[in-house]
Amino acid sequence: MILIIDFGSQYNQLIARRVREQHVYCQIEPPDIELSRIRSLAPKGIILSGGPASIYEKNSPKVDPRIFNLNIPILSICYGMHYMIDTLGGKVEGASKREYGLAELKMLRSTGIFYGINTLTPCWMSHGDSASRLPGGFEITASTENTKIATVENSKKRLYGLQFHPEVAHTPEGKKMLRNFLFRICGCKRTWTMKSFIGKTIEEIKGEVGEKKVILGLSGGVDSSVTAVLLNRAIGKQLTCVFVDNGLLRKGEGERVKSLFKRHFRMNLRFINARKMFLEPLKGVVDPERKRKIIGRAFIRIFEDEASRIKGVGFLAQGTLYPDLIESRSPFGGPSAVIKSHHNVGGLPKKMRLRLIEPLRHLFKDEVRVLGKELGLSDDIVYRHPFPGPGLAVRIIGEVTARHLSILRQADDILITEIKKSNHYQRLWQSFAILLPLKSVGIMGDRRTYEHIVVIRAVNSRDAMTADWARLPHSLLARISNRIINEVRGVNRAVYDISSKPPSTIEWE
Ligand code: XMP
């Protein structure tokens, strides 16, 4: 494995992606990681990431400097390189010439990191500080016009520094450089595959769970479905999945989950019809946060109730993914953790005194999809768009009523059917319909109508933190709009949402 020390760069997850693409496992850890833990992880190599701080700032992040004496190869990037140079006795200064954007890298050698790379190659720079004096044992291996010490190396100790970012697409030879580090310098093997992950994780789950029982909230989305199937392989009937029909689901959703998990995978599935528990207290409620709280509370009550029925239950399983884990603990994670806090269906584990089991916590979304396919899940589940926990309640602006739900369900079903038919589904991050409580005037036949508005929303995104509205073909939008207005009673107008995130959000509430 490769250990990545997180100095707060916005590109950290990208470094991890690049390493895993090479079938090498890697883990991102904060700088305050103990040396003993690094030893026990026994990485083949360490990457010190970039970061927004300047090495001379008072509270700039630092890792235990004894890391340089472990005899493990280290690749340090941008701030990481400044940290290495400063710690080992060199000098870093605020540069007179800052360098942002593309620069041409002139190589002084073609070995080590630069094996097989052209002597002139573009690289992506983003720094104010620069190294001005090297520590003993180091030499310069490449320069740019503005930055003489662009890359450094102590080949004896296998320590390397890159001022630029090899992980971004703007550094076209960056992948090759990382490959050289992984395979030529660290001697990694390409053994990280989903097959190996499944085998290892199943053993870990068995060891951790023992004879105890596990409960899992199954939503039918990618993450909880993959978690369910993986746990089912590991512990079979010790797992109970709880699917809650809260009355806020899309068309056919409950039936689909039942038939897949109960009939096909033959899992222990508790299918709870709790529509009343959600819809009654939602009566008359229009405030989005109150809706969320009511729904969150009802989920907790149902879970507590279900857990108390299972004798010997000791664990609550969740489909938490790696980006959530990194963002929620990173001291430099910015506002991401806060933005996402409302997405968890509030406080389940604490109240229930169950231990958490999160087998996907080191995976990225696209890896979870590969894993799902490896475990035999269909494309329909594996490529499913995210759906919020509070369901259609946050897609009906204003009061959630049976009639509003019925209208939205029909409109959403038409939209998704057409998006799938035109082969756009897998290319989009999310697509769905929203119902506005407003009414507008229309004309149908010879009669004036006064009916609801449906919003069509389709966005592209990598991680839901930012999103851009999708430029869907007009012909497709026309078909969706025609069908919704003609087929759904109570709707006489459809509009397309052309807002991006930020400043808008993906959902409307
Ligand atoms: P926003 O609307 O904040 O959404 O741009 C970002 C992503 O999160 C999903 N989302 C939620 N998921 N509970 C959830 O489980 C929620 O309350 C919730 N609100 C938004 C949204 O669908 C998008 O993928």
CA distance 395 to 390: 9
Amino acid at 235: I
Question: Domain boundary residue among 352, 382, 412?
Answer: 382
Q: Would 474 be classed as within a structural domain?
A: yes
Residue whose Cα lies nearest atom 12 of ligand 1: it is 388
Give the sheet arrangement for strand 139-143, strand by strand. Answer: 26-29, 2-5, 45-48, 74-77, 159-162, 151-154, 139-143, 91-107, 120-133
Say what the pLDDT of residue 290 is.
96
* Residue 270 near ligand 1, beta carbon < 6 Å: no
State the catalytic residue, choosing from 29, 167, 173, 509. Answer: 167
Residue minimizing CA distance to atom 3 of ligand 1: 505
Residue range(s) defining the domain that contains residue 293: 194-382
Same domain, 254 and 329: yes
Same domain, yes or no: 215 and 172: no
Does residue 229 lie within any of the structural domains?
yes
Structure tokens at 234: 């590991």
For residue 335, pLDDT beyond 50: no
State if residue 392 touches ligand 1 by the CB under 6 angstroms criterion: no
78 a catalytic residue: yes
How far is Cα 203 from Cα 183, in angstroms, rounded to an integer?
A: 28
> Residue 258: which pLDDT band, with cuts at 50, 70 and 90?
very high
How confident is the model at residue 63, as a pLDDT?
97
CA-based torsion, 320, 394, 384, 221: positive or negative? positive
Ligand 1 geometric centre to CA of 434 (Å): 14
- Give the model's pLDDT for residue 350: 60
**pLDDT tens-digit map of 276-316:** 999 999 999 999 999 999 999 999 999 999 999 999 999 99
> In angstroms, what is the span from residue 239 Cα to ligand 1's centroid?
27
List beta partners, residue 245: 273
Residue 509 placed within a domain: no
Asked if residue 319 has its Cβ within 6 Å of ligand 1, the reply is no
Same domain? 135 vs 212: no
The answer to whether residue 294 sits within a structural domain is yes
Say if residue 276 is in the same domain as residue 345.
Answer: yes
Does the beta carbon of 388 lie inside 6 Å of ligand 1?
yes
- The total number of structural domains in the chain stands at 3
Q: Tokens 């231990």 belong to which residue? A: 355
CA 70–ligand 1 middle distance (angstroms): 43
- 181 with 198, same domain? no
Q: Please write the tens of the pLDDT for every residue from 13-36.
A: 889 999 999 999 999 999 999 999
Identified catalytic residue from 165, 362, 404, 452:
165
Q: Is 386 in the pocket of ligand 1 (CB under 6 A)?
A: yes
- The CA distance from 415 to 374, in Å, is 29
26, 78, 123, 241: which one is catalytic?
78
Determine whether 362 is an active site residue.
Answer: no
Are 205 and 348 in the same domain?
A: yes
Tokens of 15: 């470094």
Inside any domain, residue 501: no
Strand pairing partners for 316? 215, 356
The closest residue, in CA terms, to atom 9 on ligand 1 is: 388
Q: Is the peptide bond before 359 cis (omega within 30 degrees of 0)?
A: no
Cα-to-centroid distance, 388 and ligand 1 (Å) = 5
Q: Is 250 in the pocket of ligand 1 (CB under 6 A)?
A: no
- Which residues are bridge partners to 214 per DSSP? 239, 315
CATH code assigned at 357? 3.40.50.620
Say if 507 falls within a structural domain: no
For residue 102, the surrounding DSSP H or E stretch is strand 91-107
What is the percent of the chain where pLDDT is above 90? Answer: 85
Mean pLDDT computed over 160-186: 96
- Domain assignment present for residue 390? The answer is no
For the question of residue 367 being annotated catalytic, the response is no
Same domain, 239 and 360: yes
Q: Are residues 362 and 229 part of one domain?
A: yes
The closest alpha carbon to 27, from 16, 35, 36, belongs to 16
